[in-house]
Structure 1
Amino acid sequence: MDTLLNVIDVEATCWEGRPPAGAVNEIIEIGLTVVDLAAGARLAKHRILVRPRRSRVSEFCTRLTGLTQAEVDTGIEFPDACALLVKEHRADSRPWASWGDYDRNQFQRQCKATGTRYPFGSRHTNAKLVFTQANGLKRRPGMATALDIAGLPLDGRHHSGADDAWNIAALVLGLAATGDWPEGD
C-alpha cells in the first residue's frame, strides 16, 4: 500500500487592496513536501516557481512571500508546472493535503481559466479542518497558530510555499501519530 502523501502550499500574486485592472491571482510558487505516513517522516521538500501571465508580483506580494517578479520570471509556465506535478510527484494518483481549501480552489480556478488539465486526483484532505476537529477548536487556526498549538517550530519563512508545505507536513504527521489523520489519505 502506498502511504505517501503530497502536502501542497501555493503562493499567488496578491495586492494590498484591489488588483490592478485586468490582473488576477495567479500561482507563482508551488511548495510540495512528500510525506510517508507509515514511516512518520517528511521525505522531500520541493519548490516550483511559476511565471505569471496575467499579473505581476506587487511590492506587497514581495514583502509577504519574499518572491520578486525577476525571480518568478525564471519559473516555468503554469501548464508545465501542472504536468511536472503529475510526472514527478504522481499528483494525479497520490492523495494530497493542503492547509484549508484555498490551494485546491486556486488550482481549479487557474486550470479552468487557462484550459490546463487539473493535476490532482480526487483524494484531497483539508488539513486545517482535520487539525481543528482533532484539537476541539471552535475556530480554524492559521498554520503558524496551529504550529504553536502543536508545540512545533515554524521552520523557514512563513508564506514561502516550500517552507509552508514543510511545516504543514509536520502538522499532518502529528495528526497521523495521534490517529487523527483520516485513513487512506
Structure 2
Amino acid sequence: MPNILDKIIIIDVEATCWEGAPPAGMESDIIEIGICLLDVQTGEITDNKGILIKPERSDVSPFCTGLTTISPEMIANEGISFKAACAILRKEYLSQKRVWASFGAYDLKQFQRQCAALGVGFPFGPSHINVKTLFALKNKLRHEEGMAGALKILDIPLKGTHHRGVDDAYNIAKILNRVLID
C-alpha cells in the first residue's frame, strides 16, 4: 500500500461568477480545478495542472473572464465534465486516500454543493487542511489573510496569474510548505 501521508493534494477552484448577483436560473459552477502535490518531506511541488471544466448550470461571464482569464472559448475547446474531473482526482491523485488542502473553506464548500447538485460522488477523503486558518494561527495574526497577503507576509513572490486555479494551487503549496517547515 502506498504511503498516503507522503504528499498533500493542494486544490484551488475557480468558478463562474458575476459582478453582483447571479443571473436568474444560474448557479456558480467550478470551471477550473487547480491542483498540485506537495511532498511533505522535501517541499517539492509536482503534478501542477489546471483542469478546465464545462459549467452545467451557468455561463462564463465577461466579468469572470476578466477576473480569471478563463474564456468561454477555452472552456469549449479544453473543458471536460465535472464528473470526469472528479474521476481524474480520484485516479491520478488518490484524492480519496490523501490529505488535501485549500486556502479557506470556499473550495471545500463549492465541491460539496456541486457534487450534491449534480449527483457526483465527493472526490475527497475526510482529511482537509484549511491553509488560510492554519497560516493565521501559526503567524498569530488578528485575522485571516488572503492568499496574496500571506505570500507577501512570507516574502514569497506570487507565481503566475492570481485567480487561475493552476497558479493559485502552486502558490498555496508554497505557503503550506513554509507553515510545515517553520
C-alpha separation in 2, matches of 1:57 and 1:17:
14
- Residue 13 of structure 1 is aligned with which of 13, 16, 32? 16
C-alpha separation in 1, matches of 2:22 and 2:52:
21
- Aligned residue for 2:156? 152
RMSD, aligned CA: 0.7
- Residue 104 of structure 2 is aligned with which of 82, 100, 104? 100
- Aligned residue for 1:163? 167
Is contact 1:100–1:129 with CA below 8 Å preserved after alignment?
A: yes
Q: After superposition, what is the alpha-carbon deviation per residue over 1:82-120, rounded to whole angstroms, capped at 9, x for unaligned?
A: 111001110111100000000000000000000000000
C-alpha separation in 2, matches of 1:21 and 1:95:
37
In the alignment, structure 1 segments of 5+ residues that lack a partner are 179-185
- Aligned residue for 1:25? 28
C-alpha separation in 1, matches of 2:43 and 2:53:
30
Q: 4+ residue stretches of structure 1 with deviation over 2 A?
A: none
Q: Find out whether 1:78 has 2:57 as its counterpart.
A: no
In the alignment, structure 2 segments of 5+ residues that lack a partner are none
C-alpha separation in 2, matches of 1:80 and 1:27:
13
Q: Find out whether 1:123 has 2:161 as its counterpart.
A: no
- Aligned residue for 2:143? 139
Aligned length: 178
Q: Find out whether 1:40 has 2:43 as its counterpart.
A: yes
- Residue 53 of structure 2 is aligned with which of 47, 50, 59? 50
Q: Secondary structure at the match of 1:10?
A: strand
Which residue type is aligned with residue 148 of structure 1?
K
- Residue 64 of structure 2 is aligned with which of 55, 61, 64? 61
C-alpha separation in 2, matches of 1:53 and 1:129:
31
Which residue type is aligned with residue 113 of structure 1?
A
C-alpha separation in 2, matches of 1:46 and 1:40:
17
Structure 1 residue 41: Cα displacement: 1.3
